[in-house]
């Protein structure tokens, strides 16, 4: 590639030669600094990935940054509100279709699925199906920059959770697939849905896979020691995690129990 841009003051303006993050103003324990809206392209045509929440000033800022370039499609990494809430408003602003795996999130006739290849200004973006965080999660591979957009499947900091519409067995398979893909294609950056750019894809994915196995082991041993309910397991296994994250941890524990007992 291609230079990585990693500003010190947060994800806004980060990216690669042909991928730019414009950070949405929705920080929280779950969304880290906020949602990264990615503008992908070269020349006159661009793709916009994850408009973010329904926040007028953010959507107008993204549209302004395009400086008259044409948005050929708005893509969603998945349907969660912090990524998709602004899709309809942004579609009206830039007059572009919304493509997503979930038909309920599309605007226009075209869907989005594993194996699809999109183009913008001669750049290719390859769709990689990665269910798990949610049932409809997708990643996007940008070969020109050797960069993978990961949505919430891999975050720039900490770890991702399995949402109620996700599945841990699917998630573990998706992490393995992403790792194999990253190795095969020589990925040099992960561009996440939240948090900073990750310059070491294999290291980040190995860390995610190891973390998942460790949490599963901890849950098995917490149960052996008598913890029964998801809340009891959270108290033991996530004792070192800030309490504001415990509701998310409980969601994760439920997903892991479903996996262990499934």
Which one of residues 33, 50, 82, 170 is an interface residue with Zn ion (CB under 5 A)?
Answer: 82
Region of 63-71, 91-99, 152-160, 163-171 interacting with Zn ion (CB under 5 A): 152-160
- Token readout for 221 is 């041993």
| Minimum distance from residue 207 beta carbon to Zn ion (Å) | 19
Query: In angstroms, what CA-CA distances link 239 with 114, 129, 222?
Result: 38, 33, 12
Q: What's the half-sphere exposure (Cβ side, CA atoms, 13 Å) at 133?
A: 22
> In terms of CB distance, is 87 or 219 closer to Zn ion?
87
- How many residues make contact with Zn ion (CB under 5 A)? 3
Q: Which x/- pattern over 180-199 shows residues binding Zn ion (rule: CB under 5 A)? A: -------------x------
Region of 76-84, 124-132, 166-174, 211-219 interacting with Zn ion (CB under 5 A): 76-84
Does position 152 interact with Zn ion (CB under 5 A)? The reply is: yes
Interface positions, 1-60, toward Zn ion (CB under 5 A) = none
DSSP, res 47 = E
Region of 133-141, 146-154, 198-206, 214-222 interacting with Zn ion (CB under 5 A): 146-154
Three-point CA angle 252, 174, 129, nearest 5°: 115
* Residue whose pair of structure tokens reads 């996440």 in the numeric block: 192
| Minimum distance from residue 126 beta carbon to Zn ion (Å) | 21
* Residue whose pair of structure tokens reads 């998310």 in the numeric block: 248
What kind and span of H or E run contains 171? helix 168-185
> In terms of CB distance, is 12 or 144 closer to Zn ion?
12
Does position 145 interact with Zn ion (CB under 5 A)? The reply is: no
Query: At CB < 8 A and 24+ separation, what contacts does 10-14 make?
Result: 10/196, 11/36, 11/156, 11/194, 11/195, 11/196, 11/197, 14/196, 14/197
Does position 136 interact with Zn ion (CB under 5 A)? The reply is: no
* Site for Zn ion, rule CB under 5 A: 82, 152, 193
């Amino acid at each position: 590639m291609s230079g990585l841009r990693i500003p010190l003051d947060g994800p806004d303006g980060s990216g690669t030669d042909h991928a730019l993050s414009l950070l949405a103003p929705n920080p929280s324990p779950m969304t880290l600094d906020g949602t990264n809206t990615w503008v992908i392209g070269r020349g006159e045509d661009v793709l916009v990935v994850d408009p973010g929440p329904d926040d007028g000033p953010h959507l107008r800022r993204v549209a302004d940054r395009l400086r008259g370039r044409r948005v050929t499609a708005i893509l969603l990494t998945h349907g969660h509100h912090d990524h998709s809430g602004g899709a309809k408003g942004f579609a009206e602003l830039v007059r572009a279709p919304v493509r997503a795996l979930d038909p309920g999130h599309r605007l226009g006739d075209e869907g989005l699925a594993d194996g699809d290849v999109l183009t913008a200004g001669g750049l290719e973006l390859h769709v990689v199906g990665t269910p798990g965080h949610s049932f409809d999660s997708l990643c996007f591979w940008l070969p020109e920059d050797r960069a993978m957009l990961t949505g919430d499947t891999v975050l720039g900091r900490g770890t991702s959770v399995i949402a109620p519409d996700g599945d841990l067995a699917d998630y573990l398979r998706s992490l393995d697939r992403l790792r194999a893909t990253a190795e095969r294609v020589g990925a040099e950056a992960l561009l996440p849905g939240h948090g900073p750019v990750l310059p070491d894809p294999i290291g980040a994915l190995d860390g995610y896979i190891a973390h998942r196995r460790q949490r599963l082991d901890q849950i098995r041993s917490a149960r052996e020691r008598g913890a029964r309910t998801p809340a009891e397991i959270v108290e033991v296994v996530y004792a070192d995690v800030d309490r504001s994250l415990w509701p998310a941890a409980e969601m994760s524990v439920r997903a892991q129990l479903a996996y262990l007992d499934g």
